[in-house]
Structure 1
Amino acid sequence: MLIDGLSLVLLAAGLLFFLAGTVGLLRFPDVHSRLHALTKADNLGLGFIALAMALQSESAWQALKLMLVWLLALLAAATAAQLVARSALVSPQAVREEEP
């Protein structure tokens, strides 16, 4: 029962971080601040959700695989954010938003 409650709290925290990342994506003015919101909030949200799922897993091997998936997602998000940020610095016209 305690593990179920802790898992529920971790899932709720993960969802809140995903929501914060989405709000940051929609509200922040430039590419770099949007990337910061997405990479930080979404990676932390995914970590909370993976930890909640690891607590509910049937074996340590399943929990280890979940943590490996989270680690690979961290690396992929950091790499993608670096490439997008560098692209925005090199060619600002390519990532400029259209004026309404």
Structure 2
Amino acid sequence: MSMNFQPFAEWLAAALVLVAAFFLLVGAVGLARLPDFFMRLHAPTKASTLGVGGILLASMVMSLAQGRIGFAELLITLFVFVTAPVSANLMAQAALHLRVPVRVPAPDGAVPERDPS
């Protein structure tokens, strides 16, 4: 008694693609609608990581259904999950160093004052 994995894999991959598309759409809308650099940086970084991860998981499910291990997809997923937060952090530090203006001020006492010397 063997169970056919193909239809289940296709439905699972389709669900993962839909979830990933939702996260990618949220990230794109956030990039277009948020008011300043720091908010625009946050939305696509988080959402695109989840979106690309969902697409790659769907690809891994389909490759498993075809009888091969999705090793390339796993490596790409690890690469994206490691590099996206690092690149976002570096861009935020560069923006802080260049004193990129912020539209929404921070609450009192949230940001320590810099020494002018």
Q: TM-score range by the shorter chain?
A: 0.7 to 0.9
In structure 2, stretches of 5+ residues that fail to align are 1-6, 103-117
| Structure 2 residue aligned with 1:27 | 33
The root-mean-square deviation of aligned C-alpha atoms, in Å, is 1.6
Query: Could you state the TM-score of these two structures normalised by the residue count of structure 2?
Result: 0.73
| Structure 2 residue aligned with 1:85 | 92
Of the three residues 14, 20, 23, the one matched with 1:17 is 23
Q: Which amino acid aligns with 1:79?
A: V
Once the two structures are TM-superposed, the CA of residue 17 in structure 1 deviates from its matched residue by: 0.7
| Structure 2 residue aligned with 1:65 | 72
| Structure 1 residue aligned with 2:62 | 56
Q: Which amino acid aligns with 2:53?
A: G
Give the aligned length. Answer: 93
Query: Could you state the TM-score of these two structures normalised by the residue count of structure 1?
Result: 0.84
Matched position secondary structure for 1:74: helix
State the distance in 2 between where 1:53 and 1:71 align: 14
CA distances 1:29-61 after superposition (whole Å, capped 9, x unpaired): 12121111111100000111100000111311x
Deviates more, 1:18-27 or 1:73-82: 73-82
Q: Which runs of 4+ in 1 moved over 2 A?
A: none
State the distance in 2 between where 1:3 and 1:48 align: 14
Q: Per residue, is there more helix in 1 or in 2?
A: 1
Identity of aligned residues (%): 35
Larger Rg, first or second structure (1 or 2): 2
Once the two structures are TM-superposed, the CA of residue 2 in structure 1 deviates from its matched residue by: 1.1
State the distance in 1 between where 2:71 and 2:35 align: 38
